[in-house]
Amino acid sequence: MDHRERVNLLLEGVSKRLGIGLKFDGEGSTCRFRDNGSQRHYILEVLENHDMLYIYCPLMELPCEGRETFFQFLLSLNLHGLLTQHAFVGLDEVKNLIVMSYSFPIELLDESLLFNLIVHFTSSAEKVYRMLDNFLKSNSFAKGIGASRRHDLAKASRLRVRI
């Protein structure tokens, strides 16, 4: 059984547990879905000759203005992976989209682990989306990240980088 077949088999059980349709497309490499009540699309993907399962979610378009401040905020979210549950938030330059992504070795997957991965990733993506949306609507975005915002992020991560 190859990686795609294995993940597709696991998706059958996970699909029943979540109550949403999860199956690969006609090419057998991509599964697109929406979490119940979410406006975001989630993608599970197994690339040919790769041993990783990729799950990702386009969060929003890159803002036209204030990009430096926005990217500074994005980088602070990625620090240590604590605010993203160890997923990464990055830029898809081709589509001009902010995307959250996570990868996991297929050989370690079982149905329960895949179920938990999907549940935690979708929950984290919703949380990160709200954080980004709130940041874009805040005065901090207009003014740049102020000292109080940096303090809030440092408190949230509880880890300090020492050089």
Per-residue pLDDT tens digits for 60-107: 999 888 888 899 999 988 888 888 889 999 999 999 999 999 999 999
φ, ψ dihedrals at 156, nearest 5°: -65, -40
pTM attached to this predicted model: 0.81
pLDDT at residue number 5 = 87
Start-to-end Cα distance in the chain = 47
User: What is the distance between the alpha carbons of residues 23 and 32, in angstroms, rounded to a whole number?
Assistant: 8
Average pLDDT taken over every residue of the chain: 84
- Write down the residue that tokens 């929950």 correspond to: 123
Contact 99, 91 (CB under 8 A): yes
DSSP, collapsed to helix, strand or coil, labels residue 43 as: strand
Q: What letter represents residue 42's amino acid?
A: Y
